[in-house]
Structure 1
Amino acid sequence: MLEQYDTQYRVEYAGYSPVPIEFLRLEQDKEYEKKQVDQVDTFDLQLFARAEDEGRTEDPTPRKRQQAREKGQVVKSMELTSASITLITCLAMSMLGYYMFTMMMGYSAYCFSHVHEVEFSPDNISRLFPVIIIAFFKITLPIMLIAAVVAVAVEALQVGIYFAPKALRFDFSKMRFNISKVWQRLIPSRIALIEYGKTFLKIAVIVCISYAIIHKEFSQLLNLLDVGLMEGLTFIAGLTFKIIIYVAIFLIIISLFDYLHQRHEYKQGLMMTKHELKDEWRQLEGDPSVKRKIRQRQRETAAKRMMAEIAKANVIITNPTHLAIAIKYDSDYMVAPTVVAKGKGLMAQRIIDIAKENDVPIVENKPLAAALFETVDIGSEITPQFYQTVAEILAFVYRLKQKAA
């Protein structure tokens, strides 16, 4: 009813012809889409405005979420990924440290022991370069593979496996210089202030943990002048490893809260106004393909339900080939016999075939079949004018079943 009145409504201006409301809506939608595109690169002047302040009070629809996901807009915390990579990589290095150290010392010893055999010339150095690259990858490849697996796993846990081709498109329009946008970026927004706060918190965590651990081991640090080179390097490596592990653990804890915050901000960014919600519903409702799929699904569901009810029917009334009506009656909960299925042509033949498969009696009565098909809907009780005839048919069917038993 609302759409009907909207399409009939006209807006008139003095000296101008009537303008259809659809034209005004179209212009508003174009302006809105332009604002949505520019919103990526601009900051609102209301620095601390939230979704409620902008009138976006409605939860995002599944279609809105899917469109955002297709554009690469998903919930994830980069801090959680980087902290997880740091922690797992350090743990892996603690387990593979002996292997890496042995490989590195072996290559170093080989190079230093054969350095007098190599003439340093451009040709010889170019031949040594692949050997150095291979040695480097042999030492670091296990750690790099572990870091890559951790990065993929953490990202998959946050956003799942998805591909967003729209996010890979390069937009040349964003490369145009705009002094107003540069000025707006210099003004700290609410999100920028939050990011500054997170950065400050991470720096504070790193400094505090480093200070606490170094302060605890300070006396041993002073004694490094009296120990050998390998012992000193081992102590420094262990101290550094301890600092990194503790920092990574604390950063993961902070990142979990950051992930929850990112989820909240993501939902806030997708919140919709009542007008947007109404427009999306109209688009979906007016899409011919959507309507066609909905009707097809409804027909399929109704047909499946109807076919399942045929096996429970008491009798099938036919004319005998063009029409078929399935009647069911249960005195415990039915006031009158009910039509549970009906069809004509191929559907009628299908009803008859299912009835034969389930030993449902089939009775030919052309006038009754035609009248029931035209006047009684599926799931409805028959009208009083058919009581007598249908009662006689049901009585006949009951007698046949009693004789067969």
Structure 2
Amino acid sequence: MSEGEGGSGEKVFDPTPQRLADARKRGDIPKSNDVTTAATYLGLLAVLLGGGGFAIERAGGTLMVLIAQPDRLLGRLLGPGGPKLSAAIIGEALWALAPIFLVPIAAVLVSLFAQQAITFSGDKLTPKLSRLSITKNAKQKFGPTGLMEFAKAAVKLTAISIALFYYLAHDLDRMIGAAEAEAKVVGGLMLESLVVLLAIATAIAVTIGGIDIVWQRFDHARKLRMSYQDMRDETKQSEGDPHMKAQRRSRAEAIATNRMLLDVPSADVVIVNPTHYAVALKWSRARGAAPICVAKGEDEIALRIRDIAGTAGVPLHSDPPTARALHATVEIGHEIRPEHYRAVAAAIRFSDRMRKAAR
């Protein structure tokens, strides 16, 4: 696409990984609050279905002690051991209710990790006059993002209202009939109704959350779209940044080193300076072919070459002058120079003898 097509200011390119990373540093990430809400409902529903009734009953039984025996407990609560007794009763009740609070919190954290929405940035906390812009706020409220938020709220309100209406219409007679039943029966009915209503709300929240996370990611990418000029500026900046250059060079060297080390087990011999240099050579033994360098290195890389060669059973031949000369003159994948034929031939003969002895 030429610079003139659509104008260099038209944002038609998807955001680059660098632009997405910069946005994340600023705390600008695609996060769905509806997914977090759905996770909260799911966690609470899981607790209620997995024994939440027992937890509520246990907590209620503990607190009922305060209600059922006020005269007997009043003196003890106001006495010397009163604070300790009160703390024990309240602690027992909170311990019983702990899963009802902790499981939804854990579900929310899982949803945030799944969305990769946990980030720490001071940019969002920094006061900015641009956030007070009437024009910008109007665009947010009446633009695609604002319309989507309005549509979600309308759908949630409508769906929950319809579900609540049908549920109450279906179970209203049973609720009225249970009004004169025992407290335990009424409590069980209320818990059952709570679970059903929560299940309905969860289903609605999960559906809307699934749609919303797709929209949030699309909208996030839309806001970060780049123009031709943006792309060119980012390329210039990344190429001119010494830190980025160093990172790219470091990654390239690491990749090349790892590929080189994979070829060490195929070598015929590794010529070493025992402490500093190592050069791995491979000879096809074809007529007119010279040995080829498959790996070389100094210091730490040399040590890794020696270790891999030892594990793979490749003989090590100590010849410091030849090791230094080969390391300085031969490139990986290239044949050795003629002036090194005699020394390398001796190393390969040594290797052949070592292999025969090992058999």
TM-score band (shorter)? 0.5 to 0.7
Deviation, 1:202, is 1.0
Pair 1:154 & 2:111 matched: yes
Match of 1:67, SS?
helix
Distance change (3 Å), C-alpha of 1:242 and 1:177: closer
Give the equivalent residue in structure 2 for 1:99: 58
Give the equivalent residue in structure 1 for 2:289: 336
The correspondence of residues 290-329 of structure 1 with structure 2, limited to 5 A, is 290-296=244-250, 298=252, 305=260, 312=267, 328-329=282-283
Unaligned 5+ residue runs, structure 2? 1-8
Given residue 172 of structure 1, which amino acid in structure 2 is its aligned partner? P
Query: Which of residues 174, 177, 187 is equivalent to 1:220?
Result: 174
Give the equivalent residue in structure 2 for 1:260: 214
Residue pair 2:296, 2:332 contacting (<8 A) in 1 also: no
Give the equivalent residue in structure 1 for 2:93: 138
The correspondence of residues 44-123 of structure 1 with structure 2, limited to 5 A, is 54-61=10-17, 63-90=18-45, 91-92=47-48, 93-111=52-70, 113=71
Deviation, 1:199, is 0.9
Deviation, 1:200, is 1.1
Give the equivalent residue in structure 1 for 2:242: 288
Distance 2:298 2:103 in 1: 66
Match of 1:64, SS?
helix
Q: Deviations over 1:207-252 (max 9, x none)?
A: 1111111111233345356x24735565445334422222222322
Residue pair 1:325, 1:343 contacting (<8 A) in 2 also: yes
Distance 1:105 1:70 in 2: 51
Distance change (3 Å), C-alpha of 1:364 and 1:153: closer
Given residue 67 of structure 2, which amino acid in structure 1 is its aligned partner? S
Q: Deviations over 1:191-213 (max 9, x none)?
A: 11111111111111211111111
Distance 1:115 1:325 in 2: 87
Distance 1:326 1:302 in 2: 15
Deviation, 1:255, is 1.6
Distance 1:400 1:97 in 2: 78
Q: Deviations over 1:85-143 (max 9, x none)?
A: 234324434342211322332222234x469979xxxx99xx99x95997399345442
Residue pair 1:85, 1:147 contacting (<8 A) in 2 also: yes
Distance 1:259 1:273 in 2: 25
Distance 1:317 1:87 in 2: 63
Between Structure 1 and Structure 2, how many residues are aligned?
330
Match of 2:28, SS?
coil
Deviation, 1:298, is 4.6
Distance change (3 Å), C-alpha of 1:207 and 1:295: closer
Percent identical among aligned pairs is: 18
Residue pair 1:71, 1:166 contacting (<8 A) in 2 also: yes
Given residue 219 of structure 2, which amino acid in structure 1 is its aligned partner? E
Residue pair 1:327, 1:337 contacting (<8 A) in 2 also: no
Name the Cα RMSD after superposition.
5.2
Given residue 152 of structure 1, which amino acid in structure 2 is its aligned partner? L
Distance 2:29 2:14 in 1: 19
Deviation, 1:274, is 3.6
- What TM-score, normalized by structure 1, do the two folds share? 0.60
The correspondence of residues 33-44 of structure 1 with structure 2, limited to 5 A, is none
Query: Which of residues 121, 128, 153 is equivalent to 1:199?
Result: 153
Residue pair 2:35, 2:210 contacting (<8 A) in 1 also: yes
Distance 1:400 1:159 in 2: 54
Distance 2:181 2:281 in 1: 99
Query: Which of residues 161, 165, 168 is equivalent to 2:121?
Result: 165
Unaligned 5+ residue runs, structure 1? 1-52
Distance change (3 Å), C-alpha of 1:85 and 1:98: same
Deviates more, 1:250-259 or 1:134-143: 134-143
Distance 2:74 2:279 in 1: 102
Residue pair 2:278, 2:297 contacting (<8 A) in 1 also: yes
Distance change (3 Å), C-alpha of 1:275 and 1:393: same
Residue pair 2:41, 2:201 contacting (<8 A) in 1 also: no
Distance change (3 Å), C-alpha of 1:115 and 1:239: same
